[in-house]
């Protein structure tokens, strides 16, 4: 059964749900919901996965959720630096500190129609932090979430 072949184990609810022997039940863990801290609006949703060199990841439901919410969706492959010591955090011009040791291969996917050959773009940790901050700054809020 495919659901037993995941490399990464989910939390206990995920594992429990996957153990149900009813193939008509569908379930995913939505990995990432980036939101605006002031208004609570969802800025994007994302699927995250450690990069293994294979440009494949099932993102069908993540893309569907993003389209329903009318927000972007990303596939974020992360490449951690293997370090045993606490990383030396770096500082952006705006005063934000971040861990520079992570690198990424990221594709914007809400309108993508496949689960492989994503149009991946390389990001350093600094570049992705700046992208996250830009998404927050450019957010045009028209919600009543406050
Ligand atoms: Zn908002």
DSSP result, 79-105: E----SSPP--EE-TTS-EE-TT-EEE
Structural contact between residues 48 and 30, judged by C-beta atoms closer than 8 angstroms: no
Model confidence pLDDT, tens digit, residues 112-140: 999 999 999 999 999 999 999 999 999 99
Residue 12 lies in a domain: no
Residue 81 lies in a domain: yes
Distance from Cα 132 to the centre of ligand 1, integer Å: 15
Structural contact between residues 42 and 35, judged by C-beta atoms closer than 8 angstroms: yes
Both tokens of residue 115?
Answer: 């689960």
Structural contact between residues 129 and 100, judged by C-beta atoms closer than 8 angstroms: no
Residue 121 lies in a domain: yes
Model confidence pLDDT, tens digit, residues 56-82: 999 999 999 999 999 999 999 999 887
| pLDDT range class, residue 84, cuts 50, 70, 90 | low
> Domain span at residue 43?
31-137
What's the whole-number average pLDDT of the chain? 89
Residue recorded with tokens 């184990």: 9
Residues near ion ligand 1 (CB < 5 Å) are 36, 39, 41, 141, 143
Residue 22 lies in a domain: no
Residue 55 lies in a domain: yes
Considering its fold, how many domains does the chain have in total? 1
Residue 72 lies in a domain: yes
Both tokens of residue 95?
Answer: 């005063």
Q: Exposed, middle or buried, 66 (CB in 10 Å: 0-12/13-18/19+)? A: buried
Distance from Cα 108 to the centre of ligand 1, integer Å: 21
């Amino acid at each position: 059964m495919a659901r037993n072949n995941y490399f990464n184990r989910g939390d206990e609810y995920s594992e429990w749900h996957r153990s149900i022997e009813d193939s008509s039940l569908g379930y995913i863990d939505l990995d990432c919901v980036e939101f605006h801290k002031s208004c609570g609006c969802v800025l994007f949703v994302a699927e995250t996965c450690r990069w293994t060199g294979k440009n494949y990841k099932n993102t069908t439901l993540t893309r569907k959720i993003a389209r329903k919410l009318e927000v972007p969706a990303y596939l974020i492959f992360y490449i951690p630096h293997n370090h045993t010591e606490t990383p030396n955090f770096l500082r952006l011009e705006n005063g934000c500190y971040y861990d520079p040791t992570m690198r990424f291969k990221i594709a914007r996917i809400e309108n993508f129609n496949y689960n492989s050959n994503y149009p991946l773009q390389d990001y350093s940790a600094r570049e992705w932090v700046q992208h996250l901050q830009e998404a927050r700054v450019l957010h045009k809020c028209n919600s009543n979430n406050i």
